[in-house]
Structure 1
Amino acid sequence: MDLDNKLLNMGLLIMATLVVAKVISAFIMPKSRKRLPPVMSGWPVVGGLFRFLKGPIIMLRDEYPKLGSVFTVNLAHWKITFLIGPEVSAHFFKAPEADLSQQEVYQFNVPTFGPGVVFDVDYTVRQEQFRFFTESLRVNKLKGYVDQMVMEAEDYFSKWGDSGEVDIKYELEHLIILTASRCLLGREVRDKLFDDVSALFHDLDNGMLPISVLFPYLPIPAHHRRDRARKRLAEIFANIIASRKLAGKSENDMLQCFIDSKYKDGRPTSQSEITGLLIAAFLLGSTPVPLPPLGLGHTSSVTRTLRLHPPLIMLLRSSHSDFSVTTREGKEYDIPKGHIVATSPAFANRLSHIYKDPDRYDPDRFAVGREEDKAAGAFSYISFGGGRHGCLGEPFAYLQIKAIWSHLLRNFELELVSPFPEIDWNAMVVGVKGKVMVRYKRGAFS
């Protein structure tokens, strides 16, 4: 009994000490004059962590009407400040790396991409590696990929019958991996190792979850499968790279570009770096093809589809210096150094003050005279990011979409027979839930 009383008294003393310390600090510590953004309400210690893990888009839909275009979410010891809309996100896209950095916030990619590449190296080296990506996706290189993509599409759809029903989501996901394998990973993978490598990349992709952003090394089954897949892929590409170098062969694919790349000091890319860069390129180059309204296959149709279904839910930066933003209502907020800063293409692309009836597909939105994609400034439309860190793979993505859909729409009548697909906001890459069943009939437009 005496022991219980002693423990109770000790607990009360500790609590009283903490309360007194808090009160004293409130009086003696100078109050910040910063105009901090409003903070989303959450649980003690963990803040809004559980709501974030359930899906950032659902959270944004709930909080944006209440808190506005700038607000902070506490996730355990992280503070994420969201900047939603072009009026407040210009600094996000235009700031130099010294002010808003990618490296710290994208560390969760390191277990997937591997050591020594992209977000595991300093800014100078990363820029050189991005140069390798850019050179492998120049116009003359892309032209060389067209025939390969068309050949893959023709071969794939030749196996369809004259009519029938298919899960178009599955068909497109499978075909996009085939075309990306041919153009990026090389002939050896496409012709001999496709099934094995495709399964390994599937495990890598499924190892990137919302919880991975905060806890990339958490010992969960998805991360264990990711790590095993990464190790096996390294072995496969090591053999392919060694075989090409030994035979003195040169191929027309991204793998060959990375093999031939050199840093400014003359150093060639290492086997480990080539593998990591190739994994990064493939995962970005094999994201699901958006499904434009059936019957429309032009670039304008794809752009408007991407407004509703951009590849990524969130873009992140780490703030290395204080900065201020002003909302369209005229409110000014100071964003402190040390905050993670985020914006969301998936949410910002549907803002009602920019896009009329924002959840509806409208093929004339971006037409001359309306140009809703420019209505509120340069970053009204951010499906592929923008500014200093626009997506390097955007031209490749458009090429894939055009090659696949132009063949489909020239050769088949298509009719959606399952309910309109529901968007899956819980994945890191936006997709749709369940099957998307389509009835097809060959030869309608041949």
Structure 2
Amino acid sequence: MAYALSMAELLTDPFTALPNLYRRFGPVSAVGAGPLRSVFLLGPEANRFLFANADLFRWREAFEPLVPVDGETALIVSDGADHQRRRKLVQPAFHRAQIAGYVRTMAAEADRVIDGWRPGAEVDLYQEFRRAIRRTTIRVLFGERLAADEPVVGRQLQVALDLLDQNPILQPVRRFLPSYRRAIEARARVESAVRAEIERRRTEDGDGSDVLTLLVHGRGENGSGLSDVEIVDQVISLIAAGYETTSAAMAWQFRALLLDSGHWRRVRDELPGDVSAEDLPRLSYLDGVVNETLRLFPPAAISVRWSAREFSFAGRRIPAGTQILLSPYVTHRLPEIWPDPLRFDPPRWDPDRPGYRKPAPHEFLPFGGGPHRCIGSTFATTELKVMLTRLVRRTSLRLLTTEATPTGLAAMRPKEGVPVRVLGVA
């Protein structure tokens, strides 16, 4: 009966059910039966075990729901040598020095949104900055020509991304749903635009200035490059991941600061003016705001693995071929790790604060861990910081509702968005 109740809760209110599972059953719990059976490994020690024993798990089956959006060869659905080869060719575009060059574009896209507001207007910060993040991602990673197609690309990708909002417990039956066919068709239209840009890049000299150039002209250690299918999959998956999860975190970040004007003022007072890439590492309160947002509202509330062979954890035997689910959301809200865990408290990240303890990788994992840790983590946190500085510097806003219902397990976001009234724009 407890398992049946947990299944019902997970399907209807996962953000309440997940912590309940951990409190009631500890680090290991089984939910469902037959093809819908899943095993949850929850809490810091479960995370530590998963990251330290990557060979026990497969990604391909676990992330099969992403294939309609990301493609068969995207990094997140790749394993083993293929994953390593593809990641090496993409990684240079996400080095810190490279990302520093993206800051100006990130700020410009935030300003582009704000420039369209007038005092008295009501806007949804989530939707407004979602477009800004999507356009930034396409511009800096894949160039201005593809960015010109951003409205079309965004509409089609959203059809595919809607598929990912379905609960992962329903994965075995997902491909039989009408939404699956719609996602495939929408993804094909995005692929057509990306392939056209790839063909143009092949006739140009590669200067290594963006990810697409690196993917088209890059070569691995053995001199081989990526196939067109591989390039298309990396482009689409990076666009989707680059704005879907970051915009979700951005929404919670904005909402948290508008709920407590003290946070808003402290971020504003810390800013030196127009923030440059060199300024970002020195903005400690801003850094705390971003980390605290990712702690309380990790975009991927649940992550998935598939057991490659039988193993045991916490005295429980887990058969091969089992869907394994872990949850940063649960770990990030445990009082044994985080004092007053539900409080939005940016100073908890200040190393000079009495009692400060840097969390271990298995305690703070908004970008996952192990060999599949999100390749764009630094890009995402930089974007969160830069766009927040522009909003705080240039606007005065009032939140129109204090209610917020989380929705979306692949990218947890406020269901109602972040509606605000614009009081002033500089």
Give the equivalent residue in structure 1 for 2:278. none
As a proportion of its length, which structure holds more helix?
2
Does residue 81 (structure 1) correspond to residue 63 (structure 2)? The answer is no
- 1:325 aligns to 2:313 (yes or no): yes
* 2:321 match: 338
Q: How does 1:210-359 map to 2 (within 5 A)?
A: 210-211=166-167, 214-215=171-172, 218-248=175-205, 250=207, 252-286=209-243, 287=245, 288=247, 289-292=250-253, 293-294=257-258, 295=264, 297=267, 298-326=286-314, 332-359=315-342
Q: What's the TM-score, normalizing by structure 2?
A: 0.84
SS at match of 2:4: coil
**1:143 corresponds to 2:94:** no
Whether the 8 Å CA contact 1:84–1:344 is kept in 2: the answer is: yes
Q: Distance in 1 between matches of 2:165 and 2:122?
A: 32
Cα distance in 2 between the residues matched to 1:305 and 1:116: 31
Counterpart CA distance in 2 for 1:361 and 1:300 is 10
User: 1:16-415 counterparts in 2 under 5 A?
Assistant: 41-42=3-4, 51-96=9-54, 98-118=55-75, 121-162=78-119, 164-191=121-148, 193-211=149-167, 214-215=171-172, 218-248=175-205, 250=207, 252-286=209-243, 287=245, 288=247, 289-292=250-253, 293-294=257-258, 295=264, 297=267, 298-326=286-314, 332-368=315-351, 369-371=354-356, 374=359, 377-415=360-398
User: Post-superposition shift, 1:249?
Assistant: 6.3
Q: How many residues align?
A: 392
The CA deviation at 1:359 is 1.8
Do 2:37 and 2:323's aligned partners in 1 also have CA atoms closer than 8 Å?
A: yes
Alpha carbons 1:49, 1:75 under 8 Å: kept: no
Q: Do the aligned partners of 1:78 and 1:339 also contact (CA within 8 Å) in 2?
A: no
Contact 1:290 1:305 in 2 (8 A): no
Q: Structure 1 CA distance, aligned partners of 2:86 and 2:299?
A: 22
Bigger mean CA deviation after superposition, 134-143 or 241-250: 241-250
Greater Cα offset, 313-322 or 303-312: 313-322
Cα distance in structure 1, aligned partners of 2:300 and 2:167 = 15
List runs of 5+ in structure 2 lacking aligned partners: 259-263, 268-285
Asked if structure 2 preserves the Cα contact closer than 8 Å seen for 1:209 and 1:428, the reply is yes
Q: Secondary structure at the match of 1:135?
A: helix
Q: Secondary structure at the match of 1:159?
A: coil
Identify unmatched segments of 5+ residues in structure 1: 1-38, 327-331
The match for 1:441 is 423
The answer to whether the 8 A contact 1:181-1:190 is kept is yes
Q: Give a deviation string over 1:199-256, Cα, whole Å, max 9, x none.
A: 1111121122335661375233322221111111111111111122224465733222
Moved more, 108-117 or 166-175: 108-117
1:121 positional shift: 4.8
SS of alignment partner, residue 355 of structure 2:
coil
Tell me the distance in 2 between the aligned counterparts of 1:207 and 1:358.
31
Change (3 A) 1:145 1:243: same
Residue 30 (structure 1) aligns with: none
What amino acid maps onto 1:42 in structure 2? Answer: A
Deviations 1:146-170 (A, max 9, x none): 2221222222222222553322122
Q: Helix, strand or coil: the match of 1:42?
A: helix
SS in 2 for 1:438: strand
Q: Deviations over 1:384-424 (max 9, x none)?
A: 22233322111010111112111111111222122232222
Shift in alpha-carbon separation, 1:109–1:437, aligned structure 2, 3 A: closer
Superposed CA RMSD in Å reads 2.6
> How many angstroms apart in 2 are the aligned matches of 1:216 and 1:272?
26
Q: Cα distance 1:119–1:349, how it changes in 2: closer, same or farther (>3 A)?
A: closer
CA distance in 2 between partners of 1:166 and 1:211 (Å): 29
The whole-number CA distance in structure 2 between the counterparts of 1:151 and 1:136 is: 20
* % same residue: 24
Q: Which moved more, 1:278-287 or 1:127-136?
A: 127-136
**Residues 314-323 or 195-204, more deviating:** 314-323
CA offsets, 1:121-168, max 9 Å, x none? 541011111222322211232122122212222222222225533221
Residue matched to 2:276:
none
Distance 1:76 1:372 in 2: 43
Q: Does the CA-based 8 Å contact 2:201-2:216 persist in structure 1?
A: no
Contact 1:144 1:252 in 2 (8 A): no
Shift in Å at residue 105 of structure 1?
1.0
